[in-house]
Chain A
């Protein structure tokens, strides 16, 4: 069974640009959540999507947005990039019901210059 797949794995952008990251969850998982990981702030929850609807949202500015498609694949977008957006962006999927453990992808490492 394939795991969570994130693309691209690495990317470099400059301030003011925008970026789109993609996440394909484990087959059968309908919940997809996104986390930002930085050395200073640790792991912070961005948002969660379930059945194409945003179910939970963290405390991030509106420049951070996401969506989920009917096949459960999800994308997140960051507009008007700032230096502080440099981070590892982790996507996780989970099953509905059960204990709710998260299955993470390898992450997309974004560097903003």
Chain B
């Protein structure tokens, strides 16, 4: 069964500094996708970044990058130059198999990030 582990319930970072949010996963399916979502206090989940299991390079989207270490089954999110608006809950998620399973994602418990001015 697929499983996502986020071991950091809460993290603090100083504004303008970089922060890494940890995520490890477990799956026996060779084809999978890894996602990071942001959930501000308003409640709406926002997609940040995607990494496919066969992607050779780490994904990047603006200030977000995904440090994908396949052998270690980790997919850490790196946020560079943190901003106050980055304060939110961050979820790592995975879906197995081809895209037909896209709607069925398994989520981690989340990490609450607080950016200090």
Q: Which residues of A contact B (CB under 8 A)?
A: 31-33, 35, 42-43, 45, 48, 50, 55-56, 58, 88, 90, 92, 94, 96-107, 109
How many angstroms between the C-alpha atoms of A72 and B117 in the bound complex?
Answer: 44
Pick the residue among A45, A96, A101, A107 that contacts B47 (CB under 8 A).
A101
B44 touches A102 (CB 8 A): no
* Residue on A nearest B47 in the bound complex, by CB: A101
Size of chain B's interface in residues, with CB distance under 8 A? Answer: 26
Total number of residue pairs linking A and B with CB closer than 8 Å: 70
B45 touches A102 (CB 8 A): yes
Q: Which residues of B contact A (CB under 8 A)?
A: 33, 35, 37, 42-47, 50, 52, 91, 93, 95, 99-110
B103 touches A106 (CB 8 A): no
How many angstroms between the C-alpha atoms of A51 and B61 in the bound complex?
Answer: 31
With A99-B33, A101-B35 given, is the CB distance from A107 to B107 under 8 Å? no
Q: From residue A48, how far is it (CB to closest CB) to chain B in Å?
A: 3
